[in-house]
Amino acid sequence: MRDVPVGDVRSFAILGHTGSGKTTLVDSLLFKMGECDRAGAVTNGSSLADYTNEEKNHKITIFPKPFEGIYKNPAGRSYSLVFIDTPGYADFFGHMVAACHAVETGLIVVDASAGVQVGTRRAWRCCSNLGLAKAVVVTGLDRENASFDRAVQKIQEVFGGACVPVTVPSADGGIVDVMGDNVPDSMKNAAEETRNRLVELAAETDEELTEKYIGGEELTTEEISRGLEAASLSGGFVPVFACKPLKDVGLNELMEGIARYTPHPRVHQDAEGRDIPNAADAPFVGYVWRSMQDPFVGQLSFVRVLAGTLKGDSEVLNASKDHKERFSAIMSMKGRTQTPVASAGPGDIVAIPKLKATEAGDTLCAVGSKVVCKRINFPKAVTTMAVHAKTQADEDKLSVALARVSQEDPTLKIERNKETKETLISGLGDVHVEIAVELMKSRSNAEVTLTEPRMPYRETVTAVGEGHYKHKKQSGGRGQYGEVYLRIMPKRADEEDWFVDKIVGGAIPGNFLPAIQKGLLEGMQSGAVAGYPVTNVKVEVYDGSYHDVDSSEIAFKIAGSRAMKDGMTKAKPVLLEPIMKVRVTIPDSNMGDINGDLNHKRGRILGVEPEAGMQTIVADVPLAELNRYAAELRSMTGGQGSFEMEFSRYDIVPSNIAQKIIAESDRQKEEE
């Protein structure tokens, strides 16, 4: 978009815990680079980044937004800084993951008074998983109890000695670049020590630089930068910056450090591990990392250019869908402002309007080539609610409204539960789901209410039970006749067949067995305990009778279904509930409270995994106990806790709880 070579492009996502100062840093950088007339502020609603009504009302970043500006260093060299503001709130972690697929570096913001928080660790882990370079910027240095040295000590304690301060606060309130020429006398010894360490790190990345360093030759500034850029990408070096964004102190040093220490657009790989050239004259390849609905232009697809040059009024291949897409324009995004641009090269992020079949995670490439990159591995939902339209008019809009919010946010899952006949919306927390409801109203004029979803219980048997039913009906003309005797019992995990034919002597002709099986399957849709689907049972049909004239498939289907019900009641039926494997990450200080709470929720602790001041508790917990857990955990840990879960198995519901479930099921049946 700008006349800057690929080697002078720097792309980074601004990450960190909610409230650490990410958006304030974004607004300050934009103002510093002359991209706006005045610095926006979250507090008064003028932020260029947090511009949506939802973000202004909740005072948090919800959606990731890309920006771009030019930084010209003292030597007159221009760098294109392409960066994305991301949410720090745990419920919107999926947006942060998506943004990290569009950059080379994660710039992790740490508040000096709060130090390393759970969102800091989450951001670091995400960068490591994706192989991104990392840098840290410490803000909030003017706050009470703020200490840069203490923050750095904690950063190094948690993330390792590769984290090296490259700009530091000075006694006069300024920020000093330890590699610069204007180091105060009182700081020269410490700066020289850091400089020597950085030179050594740079030399270790390249044999030629190593030989030169060992030989006593001095490395040039360019060689040091090249070496540290390589060390940054390999994880051997993480620059730490000090910055006071609101006072415009340390911003120049931060931008210079980003240009000096972080990598330019590198050679990426496709899903099969093949290199994608990062040259502007290579065939075009772009990665769609976000999709959003714009009220004026419709769908916008945000594309990070990996290779080649993307131009307006073109046709590209969506290689993920094998579908050609035609578009007229490409746009540079700066908050809500959309500016048409003629072209975009490697490292640039642009938005393409009205692509018909493209969604987040798709790869676009030049027609005639086919390159497919790995899709985004989004975090799994942990909160589920049943969604109901308020009025019939809202019912008519509901499906479109749900489709829109889930298309814009792939971590939102929408499904129709056939068992409970409920429409379910699942997200990463209660706030995540609440924001989705707000968006449905503001963008689709659909009002909904949320309720606790019905649990997907199951039923099974724990003993052998005999079942029998004779279906006999005579009402003039041809009658109906079919009789079935069966045994129902628990099905072992190593048994493949659930249905066993043990008929002897032709008591039931073989042509009626498929009808009996259909009847059994129908009977298994509603068990004998509380009417929930039946699972893990084995059925042996061993006897019965038929009539030469009156027997039919429908008669044996009914007989099979009723015999199934009869056998279930005699085979010691039980109620089953879904059990989830959860991983709860919390500070050490919360271990006792969280352990006690999980035990109260009928959880079974499987183990504890320590992680530098944090603990991850692994446990099996019934799903029925977890629906509000995201909010509960946030309250118990002061926002420092997080959790993830996945389905483990079904297990027997304790009898005292089963009685309540059965009573509620009976009440619902009476109401229906």
Domains of the chain, by residue range, sit at 6-186+235-266, 269-366, 383-451, 459-571, 577-657
Q: For position 346, what pLDDT does the model report? A: 95
Average pLDDT over residues 59-72: 95
439-474 per-position pLDDT tens digit: 999 999 999 999 999 899 999 999 999 999 999 987
Q: For position 502, what pLDDT does the model report? A: 92
Average pLDDT over residues 204-218: 88
Give the position of tokens 């490439």.
365
Q: Residue 323 corresponds to which amino acid?
A: H
Q: For position 318, what pLDDT does the model report? A: 97
Average pLDDT over residues 101-112: 97
Q: Which residues contact 601 (CB under 8 A, 6 or more apart)?
A: 621, 622, 625, 626, 629
CA–CA distance, 304 with 315 (Å, rounded to integer)? 17
3-state class (DSSP) for residue 416? strand
Average pLDDT over residues 607-618: 86
Dihedral sign from CA coordinates of 60, 64, 70, 72: positive
The gap between the terminal CA atoms of the chain, to the nearest Å, is 62
Encoding tokens for residue 144?
A: 């009470």
Strands 238-242 and 268-269, bridge-based pairing:
unpaired
Do the domains spanning 6-186+235-266 and 269-366 agree at the CATH topology level?
no
Sheet with 383-389: strands ordered across: 413-417, 422-427, 383-389, 448-451
CA–CA distance, 139 with 133 (Å, rounded to integer)? 20
270-317 per-position pLDDT tens digit: 999 999 998 999 999 999 999 998 888 888 999 999 999 999 999 999
Q: For position 477, what pLDDT does the model report? A: 66
Task: Give Cα separations from 366 to 221, 324, 622 (angstroms).
Answer: 39, 10, 49
Angle between helices 188-203 and 207-214 (to 10 degrees): 130
Encoding tokens for residue 620?
A: 């099996």
Q: For position 23, what pLDDT does the model report? A: 94
- CATH number, span 6-186+235-266: 3.40.50.300
Average pLDDT over residues 537-564: 93
State if pTM tops 0.75.
Answer: yes
* Pick among 3.30.230.10, 3.60.21.10, 3.40.50.2020, 1.10.3470.10: CATH of 459-571: 3.30.230.10
CATH 1.20.970.10 is held by the domain 577-657: no
Q: Residue 126 corresponds to which amino acid?
A: C
Angle between helices 221-234 and 251-261 (to 10 degrees): 80
Encoding tokens for residue 511?
A: 């042509």
pLDDT of 1 above 60: no
> What is the phi-psi region of residue 528: left when phi exceeds 0, alpha when psi lies from -120 to 50, beta otherwise?
alpha
CA–CA distance, 431 with 668 (Å, rounded to integer)? 29
Element (H, E) at 193: helix 188-203
Q: Which residues contact 582 (CB under 8 A, 6 or more apart)?
A: 603, 617, 618, 619, 620, 621, 626, 643, 644, 645
Give the CA dihedral 553, 559, 564, 565, nearest 10 degrees: 130
Encoding tokens for residue 428?
A: 């990463």
| Main-chain dihedrals φ then ψ at residue 521, nearest 5 degrees | -60, -40
Cα 30 from chain centre = 28
Class of domain 383-451: alpha beta
- CATH number, span 269-366: 2.40.30.10
No. of helices (H) and no. of strands (E), the chain: 16, 34
